[in-house]
Amino acid sequence: MKVAAIQMVSGISLDANLSEALRLLRLAAAAGAELAVLPEYFCFMGARDEDKLVIAETLGLGRVQDFLSDTARDLRMTLVGGTLPLATDDPAHAANASLVYDARGERLSRYDKIHLFRYDNGRERYDESAVLTAGTAPTHFELHDHAGQAWRIGQSVCYDLRFAELYRALAADVLLVPAAFTHTTGSAHWEVLLRARAIENQAYVIASAQGGLHENGRRTWGHSMVIDPWGQVLAMHAEGPGVVIAELDAARLRQVREQLPSLQHRVL
């Protein structure tokens, strides 16, 4: 199955972000991708954390959700919408939700980010819990590729990457990591954590990132990549907008699991 990790440098304009996402997704579709993954906050990187609440949508209703549904249907691919803010019962907090749409444009899955980012090194300070509500449920979905191969796809978002127990619970063939890692934390930990999650779970990893200097002054690490179950980086894009294309091979996944049977997996 051919897949795409989409890298963006999203800004404060919803219109501009959706236009750029569509441009990159069209490139992915032209390359033959059946599954494409947008980065965290693909639709909006506001000037302030509270700006997320302004564009928060009700599940099933909203411009960003319409965009994801229409684009998945028009490009005939399964599309993972990075994350977008969804309204909760608390008007002061939104869910950081990753929505998946199938090639018919129908919503296939919703995952709310469980582990909210908090970091303070004396110069940079982030606390997503100020405006976001944490999710509670590990989430996966099933996908059949064009050849009829079934894949179990496990969802996660950004800071989840530091919590290995989540990925073990997913027991997936493919792990998704849409993210907006800071330049500071990403340069130190991004690749090593991604490769560790691939190796310890004997799974493919598709990591789509924000990567560059944003209008709000934040700098993200980028380095979107696809990793195989042996921990090998199959393809990577370092900085700026781009599309990472790679082929997921079910036979390779079976080979790794048979050669090193350290986990209990379902049979592909």
Active-site residue flag, 2: no
Question: Do 248 and 203 form a contact (C-beta atoms < 8 A)?
Answer: no
Active-site residue flag, 52: no
C-alpha distance from residue 68 to each of 77, 103, 203 (Å): 11, 11, 26
C-alpha distance from residue 27 to each of 4, 31, 44, 78, 146 (Å): 9, 6, 21, 15, 19
Active-site residue flag, 113: yes
Six token digits for residue 242: 């781009």
Q: Which of 52, 128, 158, 239 is catalytic?
A: 158
Q: Which of 20, 34, 52, 113 is catalytic?
A: 113
Six token digits for residue 151: 């894949």
Q: Which of 40, 57, 128, 239 is catalytic?
A: 40
How many whole angstroms separate alpha carbon 31 and alpha carbon 97? Answer: 27
How many whole angstroms separate alpha carbon 68 and alpha carbon 110? Answer: 13
Residues labelled catalytic = 40, 113, 158
